[in-house]
């Protein structure tokens, strides 16, 4: 039995680093994906759930100008970012806008360029993304105080995950520790109550 278990464990570890986790083939339900053809600002590809943002099905928006489906201010911000910012492989927050659908939902816009294509992501949010200097300052001040008061390295990891999640509103924030070969281990996290813990999971460098 020990021999069988050891063989199975080795096979699992070997196969793990071959998993194509960088090409999932789908998007999370809170996000919508769009590929913009930069030459004429038309929509080249979309995820099937584009109707959530545009109120139109995928086959109704493909090949159409992006400007037809977004507020002018949002469209202009996207085009300006594409022409003036370094977004090659570097996702950048652009703006937040109110979708023309019912019920009304706000979406954050994040974009980057990959192999000559503009990739635009829309993430639903509960507010319009506005933030003042006062509340941002208070948020950062509280976070830094917690980090400064950490007594151990584990406390520091835990506080950092908590404060990052509080700042971003993400469902989960993880802290990774890497060894000399860049294999990673989740050493701390902060997550929504309904999610399973990933602390202790290990990922090969590949």
Cα–Cα separations (whole angstroms), residue 141 to 76, 125, 167, 179? 34, 24, 12, 32
H-run or E-run covering 173: strand 172-178
Q: Could you give the domains of the chain?
A: 31-125 (3.30.450.20), 133-203 (3.30.450.40)
For residue 135, pLDDT beyond 60: no
CA distance 32 to 30: 7
For residue 205, pLDDT beyond 60: yes
For residue 100, pLDDT beyond 50: yes
Strands lying side by side in the sheet with 92-98: 42-46, 31-37, 117-125, 106-114, 92-98
Give pTM, 2 decimals.
Answer: 0.56
Joined tokens for residue 61? 């928006």
H-run or E-run covering 36: strand 31-37
In this predicted model, what pLDDT tens digit does every residue of 35-76 receive, in sequence order?
Answer: 999 889 999 999 998 988 888 999 999 999 999 999 999 999
């Amino acid at each position: 039995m020990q021999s069988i278990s050891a063989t199975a464990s080795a096979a699992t570890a070997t196969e793990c680093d071959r998993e194509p986790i960088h090409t999932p083939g789908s998007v999370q339900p809170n996000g919508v994906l769009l590929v913009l053809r930069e030459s004429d600002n038309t929509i080249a590809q979309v995820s099937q759930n584009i109707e959530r943002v545009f109120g139109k099905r995928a086959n109704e928006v493909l090949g159409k100008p992006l400007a037809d489906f977004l507020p002018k201010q949002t469209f202009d911000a996207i085009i300006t970012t594409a022409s003036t910012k370094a977004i090659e492989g570097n996702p950048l927050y652009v703006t937040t806008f109110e979708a023309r659908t019912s019920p009304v939902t706000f979406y954050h816009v994040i974009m980057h360029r990959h192999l000559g294509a503009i990739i635009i992501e829309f993430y639903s949010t509960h507010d319009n993304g506005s933030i003042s200097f006062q509340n941002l300052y208070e948020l950062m001040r509280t976070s830094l105080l917690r980090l400064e008061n950490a007594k151990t390295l584990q406390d520091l990891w835990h506080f950092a995950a908590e404060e990052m999640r509080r700042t971003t509103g993400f469902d989960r924030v993880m802290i990774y520790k890497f060894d000399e070969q860049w294999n990673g281990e989740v050493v701390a996290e902060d997550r929504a109550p309904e999610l399973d813990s990933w602390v202790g999971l290990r990922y090969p460098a590949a």
